[in-house]
Every structure is written in structure tokens, then in C-alpha cells.
Structure 1
Amino acid sequence: MSSLSRVHHLSETIARDTGVVERYLKSNDLPTPTLDATSLWSIPIADDAVDVKQARLSVIEACSELQALMTGPKELLHFSYTAYVSVKAVLRFKLDKSFPVGSETNFQQMSEFSGLNVMNVKRIVRHAIMNHRFFQEETPGIITHSALTAVLAQDELARNALIVELDEFWPAGVKAADALEKWPNSEECNQTGFSLANNSDKGMYDILAANPDRGERFGMYFSQADEPSHLLLENFPWADQKTVVDVGGSHGSVAITIAENFPQVACIVQDLPDTAAEGSARLPKHLQDRVSFMAHDFFTEQPVAADVYYFRSIFHNWADKYCIKILQNLTPALKPGAKIVIHERILPSLDTLSTADARRAINMDIGVLQLLNAQQREMHEWPELFRRADARYQFLGAKKPDGAIRWIIEAEWRG
């Protein structure tokens, strides 16, 4: 009876909240979602339409659970071992780019474009259609784009992201259990699923440094903004600061944004030599008097005294022993009152976030495990991390602005 009751509840939720989204789209003269090639790439719900955004997430989550209940546990245990074979092949042989969006093609033409024989093109494309909604075959043998392949063919960032996830992350995940068996509870970044997948005794960063094309893809993957910059600007007292060091700041996007909005702040961006040099070369002229770049490895002693040391998505790339070293290497430069600002996700308790949000955070936690032997951290782990680094750190707390995916985690050096 309880299962039937849950099924009924989920079906009602789907009907109710789908209605919320549909009424919003209609009232704003927005098109109904489809997966045709001409459809919008994302559902255009305004940031202030919080109830509509929540309804959309509710439908997605309810559909997932209802599908699981209707499938049943024994069938759910089946693993689709062919799941992404066709997707990787489409990307590898650029089948999505074999004909323009808005036109049509056939298996013979795709074969001539890719170098694959017609039989293999046909089986790959039909698998992709059936399992991933790639392409469409409404007339037998005539292939057109779907919304998904239209995006891939026209958006290089989206295409690159899928390549990185399938060529780099997926093989590392397949080998993650092997790494845990071979190196139980290791905190070393070269004893990972990624290392095993690459038949290497090196860590991910060293492997990518030796493979510039792959390293460039990684850089492009993480170059996309995933939350509005104003969420950081409005939730820390930048106007009270004079000097900010952006540690591991890459090409300085955060420092540049701070400098443009707070003219009294001078920012120093620290990263490895090649990255710092490239960031300096890209720096807009009007900011060259307030933003500078410095080659610095955060596993060595910090040479700059500042008001704030900012770390964006750095600590989740390292196990505790290395995060403690990063914090300890700051201490020679710290003056009383200096702030440490760590800007990254915090693992949720399951009762504080929606299941979708919790799943994203936990997926990221497993992701950094398989790539780096690193971890996302729960709220209670942050004050303990600072305490283990040095008792003179005072943990001030953490907050997550509305609409953000990262928390702003603060500590102060008491000296």
C-alpha cells in the first residue's frame, strides 16, 4: 500500500508542478520545451521566478523517483555497459558536425565524412538516438539533428565539456575501486583512478602538463562561469579591504572582478609560472596598476602580507594533509586580523538541501576522489581543518548566498 501511495503522490506532484512551469511559459510567451533541433537550449526561467524554478526541479526529481519505482529494484540493478559507447564515437568522429543544423543527411554521407563504414555509422547513430536522443530518424535512413546534437554542433564549450567528462572523468571512475583496493585510504594524488586509467605513477596535474592538448581541454572545461559574480561581491566586505591575494587564481577572473567593483582594492593573483604569465598578458590595461600576477606554488611559504587570502575551488582538489600544508604555508605572512576566504561547495546533510542539490554535491565529492584523492567537506570539517593547521586560526563561519552553489567560508588569523 505504501508504494502505491508514493506512486500516487509522485504522479500528482508531476502534474501539479508541470502545470506551474507550463503556465509560466505561456504567460511569458515562451515556447513549450521540445527536443527538436530548433528548440531553445535551456528552459528560460528568470532568476526571480523562484517558485517556477523549484517546480521544475520538483518535476525532474519526481520523474526520476517514479521511473525507479515503476522499474523495480531488480531491473534497476542492471548496468548499461553500452551506455556511452555511441556518444564517445559521435564525438570522436565528429558525426555531429558531419552536416549543418537545419539540413539532413544519410548513413552513406556520414560514412564518407567520418571514414567509418556504413554499418558502423548506422549502429552508432541508432544507439545514440535510442539511448541519448542524439539525432533524429523520422524517415528511415534520413538523419536530422535533435536539440542535443544541434547544441554539440554549435557550442564548443558544451562539446568540449562532454569530451572531458567521457575521455577523462569516466575512465578514472571505472578505475576508482581498483585504486581504493591498491592504495587503501591514500591521500596521495598519484594513487587514484585517474593515475591507473592513464597507466601512470603521476598525479592528474602532472599527466595533463605532459599532454598540452588534454590540459587545454581541462582548462576550457573549468573556464565556464557557474554562478553570478555578484554573489561573491555582495556577501563579503570587500570595500573594507586594501590588499587581496587570489591564491591559485588562474588568469585572474575573480581578482579582475573585485578590482573593477572596488577601486580601493589591490589584487595579487598567484599561480604557477606559465599560468601567471598568461594571465598578466591578458590583463586589461586599465587594471594594471591594481592587479598583478605572481608565480607562486601554494605548497611553499607565502611571501605576501595582505588583508585577505582568497581560495576559489582549491581545497576540494586536495586531501586534508595537503590542505593543512597550504594553510600552514600562509602563516609566515599573516598579520593579526588577516582573513582567509575559501569559496567552494560544502557537502550537505540530506535534510537541508533538495535531493538534486545533494546529489550534485556528492557526485562532485566522488569526482575529486577518483581524480585526485581529494574531497568535498561537510560543515563541521572546516573548523577542524583550520584547527589542525594552526590553533591561531579562528573559524568565523560559512554562508551560502541565495542562488549560489559555493559557500563563502571565513577564518581569521589571531596571531
Structure 2
Amino acid sequence: MASARITELSTLIATNTEQLNAYFAENNLPTPSFDASALATLPIPEARQDLKSACIAVIEACSELSDLLSGPKELLNFKWTAYVSIKIILRFSLDFSFPVGSNTTFSTMSEYSGLSVMNVRRVVRHAIYNHRFFEEKALGVITHSALTATLVRDDKVRNALIVQLDEFWPAGVKAADALEQWPNSEESSQTGFSLANNSDKSMFDIFVGDRKRATRFAKFFDRSDEPAHILLESYAWDNVKTFVDVGGSHGSIAIGVAERFPHVRCVVQDLEGTVKEGKERLAPHLKDRVEFQTHNFFTSQTVTADVYYFRSIFHNWSDKYCIRILQSLTPALKPGSRIIIHERILPDLNTLNTADAKGAINMDIGMLQLLNAQQREMHEWEVLFKSADKRYRYLGATKPDGAIRWIIEAQWQA
């Protein structure tokens, strides 16, 4: 019953919060705060998975409790103004209008941005009350909060928020229209993103013609969402002599492999501009073991290797194109060659109520609105390999502790 559940959630929140607070107190660490001086992330060590689990448990329980106490009718009330103020703040750089540690007024922010005092006031107060952007502890006196201070200090965080609001959000608004216009399309040019941009091109093709947006988008993905060492410590590298990172961008994964396992020769393949940048960034001591090659993964593979690695590539493409990627590998494959696909897997019913599951499900919808692509369920991977070529033997998938991506693997049997 709901009444029993809300009590259960309350207890869960109290128990896990006490555990977290005790850790902060014992280690003389600051407790979470919205003050501008607060830490941008909680000071929980990577090794303390128990504390990370406690934190997730509190967040999930608070969300469920809030929903239960709101009731269905209130939950169905769409918050259609939710992110309007955030977009305006970022567009007019109001977060940069005064230094962290000082204060300002609506008039000063107006002079900085060119917006009227009335519009600055209404935007900033909306952001305060809905998103904890800025603080107004005295009437008309504005200071930074932890969130706006983080935006000012961390350009990657700020850029990510801009990309999500300017590129991803409009595509989501148009996703239903795209499904109506092109029912069940597998084409990346027939999406909510295409409609939002009044274009018949795919997201990637649109970015090719707009350097500023392309750079901003690339920077969005130049962020670590899980520790790089997880893959290096969770795969048997002893018998790997040649490693090809297909679509490997600037080579961060290949460089990690080369640094950790000197016996492995690494090849990074990507489009021409990315390869050029990767070569320029490569440390001199790795140039004899990390090679950059211009390669389109829809064309025939020319490098014979022990392992071909794809990190977050397949979720950008629908099944028909993923099959083409796998088929393009076959000219170079030798008996025993392995294919590693490193990305999220959609949850089953046993893992549905987890933070990882929510992330994967949200990403799945994101791929729909942007590219008509998808995250896949566990059983769909074997089907995908067999659809590409019967000589692929699916080996299964494993998810290391602390990871968000699975290591999905198949072997070539000539």
C-alpha cells in the first residue's frame, strides 16, 4: 500500500543519509550545500562503492517519495516553462556578469546583457526558484549559487548544458512529429533533430557545415563519464598484439592501452580532421606504437588485428547501418579476431529500477530523437552479429563494477 511505501522510503532516506553524513563528519569533509563555495561534486572516493550506492539510494527514494506525495494529477501537470530561464541565462552569459564571491543587482545584469531590468529579474528569479541558479538572500541582491559558480569555473560543464538545451532539447520537441512523418524510419536524416533544424540532413552532416556547433558538440563528448581504467582492468590483454579503435576520435582509449600494455600496437581510425588532431596531440614516446588512420567504418577494413574496438558507436546507428559496419570489417578479419562493442545495454525487468537503467533508457530516447538510432537489449546483440554474418560467434556481455558500459564481444570464425 502507498502509506506503507512512503514510510519505507522515509526510513531508507534517513538510514542512508546518516551513513553519508557520518562519513563526511569522520573525514572532516564539507556536507553538501548550494553555496557558491560548495564542492562541485561530492567528495566520495571511487573505491567507496557503498557510499555511492547510499547516495543513489537516497536520490531515487526522494524522487519516488516526491512523486507519491504529489499524486498522479499533479505529476501530469507539464512544466512547460522549466528550462526557458536557463537557456536565456546561458545565451546572454548572465552567469559571467559578475565574479564568484561578489554580488550584483538586476540593473547591473541588465547593463551587461542588454536585456531590460524587468526581463533580467523575471528570468533570474525563475532560475532561482526552479533550478537553484543564483541566490537572492536580500531583496534585489544577487549572488552565485553552487550551480552558477560551477558554470563559471568549469567550461566543460557549461558547454554540456548549452549542447543539451540548444541541440538535444529542440530535437526532443520534434520527435513525435518525425515519427508521424516518417513512421519507424531507420534513416538518421529523418529525425526530430532534422525537423528542428529544418533540414533533410542528419545531425552529423548538419554539424559538418557548422564548425562552431561541431566543435561544441565534440567538446560535449570530451568528458569522462566512467573511469578509463575500468576497460583496461576488465579485459584479458595478454594475447592481444594489435588493437584497432574504430571511430576512436583522438585516441584516448588506444593511448591508455598503449601506456598500460607496451606489447600492444594500437591503430586509431576516424575521419580526416579528427585523425589530424589526434596525431598532433600524440605524445612523442607513443608514436611508434599508436598510429592514426583516416577511415570510414562503412568502408572495407584494411587492418588485420586481434581486437576491433567500438566505443559508443553502434548506439548512433539503426540496425541496418550497424550491420553494414560489421560487414565492412569482414575483409580484414582472421580466425579468432574479436570485436568489442563498449556501450550501455537496456535493462531487463530485474534491473529496471536502477540509476544505470534510467540512464540507458534516457539515452535510448535521445538516440531516437537525434539519429533514429538506439540502445539495445541484451538479446539483440547476438541477433545483430548473426544478421551481419553467420561467421560471427557471439561471446556475451559483461559489466565491470563501477562501469556504465558493458563489454560486448564476438569472435570471427572463418
TM-score tier by shorter-chain length is over 0.9
Residue in 2 that maps onto 1:320: 319
TM-superposed CA distance for 1:353, in Å, is: 5.5
Residue in 1 that maps onto 2:379: 380
Residue in 2 that maps onto 1:157: 156
Residue in 2 that maps onto 1:267: 266
Residue in 2 that maps onto 1:401: 400
TM-superposed CA distance for 1:162, in Å, is: 0.2
TM-superposed CA distance for 1:3, in Å, is: 1.2
> Aligned partners of 1:69 and 1:237: how far apart in 2?
46
Partner SS, residue 263 of structure 2: coil
Q: Which runs of 5+ in 1 are unaligned?
A: none
TM-superposed CA distance for 1:354, in Å, is: 4.1
Q: Which runs of 5+ in 2 are unaligned?
A: none
> Aligned partners of 1:134 and 1:376: how far apart in 2?
33
Decide whether the 8 Å contact of 2:324 with 2:388 is kept in 1: yes
Partner SS, residue 405 of structure 1: coil
> Aligned partners of 1:46 and 1:234: how far apart in 2?
18
> Aligned partners of 1:233 and 1:126: how far apart in 2?
47
Partner SS, residue 350 of structure 2: coil
TM-superposed CA distance for 1:16, in Å, is: 1.2
TM-superposed CA distance for 1:265, in Å, is: 0.9
Residue in 2 that maps onto 1:339: 338
Partner SS, residue 349 of structure 2: coil
> Aligned partners of 2:6 and 2:296: how far apart in 1?
54
TM-superposed CA distance for 1:50, in Å, is: 2.0
Decide whether the 8 Å contact of 1:250 with 1:275 is kept in 2: yes
Partner SS, residue 234 of structure 2: coil
Query: 1:199-210 maps to which residues of 2 (within 5 A)?
Result: 199-210=198-209
Of the structure 1 ranges 45-54 and 146-155, higher mean CA displacement relative to structure 2 is found in 45-54
**Residue-by-residue CA offset, 1:317-364 (whole Å, 9 max, x unaligned):** 000000000000100111101110111111111312543221111000
Residue in 2 that maps onto 1:116: 115
> Aligned partners of 1:353 and 1:83: how far apart in 2?
27
TM-score between both structures, scaled by the size of structure 1: 0.98
Paired residue type of 1:324: I
> Aligned partners of 2:123 and 2:194: how far apart in 1?
29
Closer, same or farther: CA 350–358 of 1 in aligned 2, 3 Å: farther
Decide whether the 8 Å contact of 1:316 with 1:376 is kept in 2: yes
| Residues 1:38 and 2:52 are matched in the alignment | no
TM-superposed CA distance for 1:275, in Å, is: 0.9
Q: In angstroms, what is the RMSD of aligned CA positions?
A: 0.9
TM-superposed CA distance for 1:193, in Å, is: 0.4
Query: 1:50-69 maps to which residues of 2 (within 5 A)?
Result: 50-69=49-68
> Aligned partners of 1:148 and 1:67: how far apart in 2?
22
> Aligned partners of 1:194 and 1:397: how far apart in 2?
33
Decide whether the 8 Å contact of 2:352 with 2:358 is kept in 1: no
Decide whether the 8 Å contact of 1:307 with 1:338 is kept in 2: yes
TM-superposed CA distance for 1:240, in Å, is: 1.3
Residue in 1 that maps onto 2:237: 238
> Aligned partners of 2:169 and 2:358: how far apart in 1?
17
Partner SS, residue 238 of structure 1: coil
Decide whether the 8 Å contact of 1:350 with 1:358 is kept in 2: no
Paired residue type of 1:77: L
Residue in 2 that maps onto 1:177: 176
> Aligned partners of 1:82 and 1:351: how far apart in 2?
35
| Residues 1:212 and 2:215 are matched in the alignment | no
Decide whether the 8 Å contact of 1:347 with 1:358 is kept in 2: yes
TM-superposed CA distance for 1:17, in Å, is: 1.2
Partner SS, residue 351 of structure 1: helix
Query: 1:136-147 maps to which residues of 2 (within 5 A)?
Result: 136-147=135-146
TM-score between both structures, scaled by the size of structure 2: 0.99
Decide whether the 8 Å contact of 2:247 with 2:313 is kept in 1: yes
**Residue-by-residue CA offset, 1:129-170 (whole Å, 9 max, x unaligned):** 011000000100000000000001111000000000000000
Decide whether the 8 Å contact of 2:346 with 2:360 is kept in 1: yes
> Aligned partners of 2:297 and 2:354: how far apart in 1?
35
